[in-house]
Amino acid sequence: MALIAARGLGRSFGTKRVLRDLDLDVAERELVLVTGPNGSGKSTLLALCAGLLAPTAGELDVAVDRGRIGYLAHEPLVYRELTALENLDLYGRLYRVPERRERIGMLFERFGLWEARRTPVASFSRGMQQRLALCRTLLHDPALLLLDEPYAGLDEAGGELLDAELAGLAGRRTLLLATHDPGRVGRLATGRLALA
């Protein structure tokens, strides 16, 4: 059963067409790599699958509820004036995460943010913000993960943490991953989509 099904999917921004006539099928528990040069529509495709954008042509069917989708964007989607803990607490409430405190603590420890949990995000480095964004994405244990350049900004240690996380998720959850560096996750991929 296809979790994501796209037929003739297209998306334009004004007169600029970013995606054109795309067909896509992603089954459960697949890990699909989306590759392509800058401007090829990788981010747009993920935003469409997340439901943030509507198609301007064709059809897109995502058989997952909003509450079970995890979306990692270019921006961390957190409030800079709030602490890491306050941010995830808010998302935890909105996503109705059971045992919220424990889950947040566990993610912070896993991604090395426990010490910084009470500092405002504004003082975070780029790498720490990316780790926080990953925590936010994984907080509610989503069935479908849409990750836009998840390795961007991560240092070596962060990268290794993410490798481990992805290895653990592959085969258990469905992932759509946009990346410039397909080599890193290549062995986990069950499918590839190259956008022109």
Partner 1 sequence: MTYLADVGALARKDLLLELRSRDTLPAMILFVVSTLVVFNFSLPAETGDLAAYGLLWVAIVFTAILGLTRAFAAEREQRVLDGLVLAPCDRSAIWLGKGISVVAFLALAEVVALPAFGLFFEPVTWELVAAVALADIGLAAVGTLLAAMAAASRARELLLPLLFLPLVIPVVVGGVGASIADDPGRYLGFLGLYDLIFAILSWASFEYVVTE
Partner 2 sequence: MSTSLPNNRTAALAAAAFVLLLGGVALAFYWVPNAPLEGFRQRIFYIHVPVALTAYACFGWAAWKALRLLSTRDQRYDLESYTAVHMGVIFGILTLVTGSIWARTSWGVWWSWGERQLVLFLVLFLFYSAYFMLRYSVEPGPRRASMSAVYALFGVVLIPVSFLAIRLAEGLIHPVVFDRDIGSNLAGSQLLTFVVCLAGTLALAASLYGNELTGKRIDERLRELREALE
**CB closer to partner 1 out of 43 and 185:** 43
* 93 belongs to the binding site for partner 1 (CB under 8 A): yes
**Residue 10, Cβ neighbours under 10 Å: how many?**
18
**CB closer to partner 1 out of 11 and 185:** 11
DSSP string of 123-153, one letter each residue: G--HHHHHHHHHHHHHTT--SEEEEESTTTT
**CB closer to partner 2 out of 20 and 184:** 20
Please work out the total of residues on this chain that contact partner 2, with binding judged by CB under 8 A.
Answer: 8
- Segment holding 166, helix H or strand E: helix 156-169
Please classify residue 89 by burial: count the beta carbons closer than 10 Å to its beta carbon, then call 0-12 exposed, 13-18 middle and 19+ buried: middle
* 124 belongs to the binding site for partner 1 (CB under 8 A): no
* 61 belongs to the binding site for partner 1 (CB under 8 A): no
Give 159's contacts (C-beta < 8 A, 6+ positions apart).
151, 184
- From candidates 8, 39, 67, 186, binder to partner 1 by CB under 8 A: 67
Binding mask 14-53 for partner 2 (x = CB under 8 A): xx-x-----------------------------------x
